[in-house]
Amino acid sequence: MNYFVFDTNIVSGLLKLNPQLMQRLAGIVTPENVILGCPVVWYEVRRGLLEKGATVQMRDFEILFSRFVWQHYTLKDWSRATELWVKRRKQGMPVSDADLLIAVFALNRNATLVTNNEKDFAGLGVTVENWLN
């Protein structure tokens, strides 16, 4: 099995029907690939759509995310996040809580993180793919 986690910017791009993202998504929709639904990404996208009153995109978001395999954060996720947070702070390279939690979610599930913001996840040990390059 191959696991993928989509960052917030990728989900947003899919909702905007970005042709490059749609093509890449179509290429991984196979029985041996699983897209995991990250709670932080769900939160970030949903709050943005609510703020804008984007009802059509909200419906599309709910349909899209329903196709992902939802998983909750575990104690192992929270523990690893705290350790990485401390490590990054000591290195003088703080990371946002949201990016850290998305990275740990992917790391602990041996998933590839698909993002257009590779720099946000540098040094966290997560495998990253940028589908917009």
Note the helical H segments in 1-133.
8-15, 19-28, 39-52, 55-66, 75-90, 97-107
68 token code pair: 């992902």
pLDDT for position 78: 98
pLDDT for position 57: 95
pLDDT for position 128: 98
Region 60-74 average pLDDT: 97
| Residues across the chain | 133
pLDDT band at 100 (very low <50, low <70, confident <90, very high): very high
pLDDT for position 119: 92
E-assigned strand segments in 27-124: 33-37, 69-70, 111-114
pLDDT for position 39: 98
Looking up tokens 């890449």 gives: 24
Give residue-wise pLDDT tens across range 12-44: 999 999 999 999 999 999 999 999 999 999 999
Looking up tokens 């993202």 gives: 21
Give residue-wise pLDDT tens across range 36-57: 999 999 999 999 999 999 999 9
89 three-class SS: helix
pLDDT for position 103: 98
Query: Regarding the domain delimited by 2-129, which CATH topology (the fold level of the hierarchy) does it fall under?
Result: Rossmann fold (3.40.50)
pLDDT for position 99: 97
pLDDT band at 62 (very low <50, low <70, confident <90, very high): very high
* Cβ-based neighbour number of residue 130 at 10 Å: 14
Region 109-119 average pLDDT: 97
* CA-wise closest residue to 41 among 6, 83, 91: 6
Tell me if 133 sits within 8 A of 21, measured CB to CB: no
Region 50-79 average pLDDT: 97
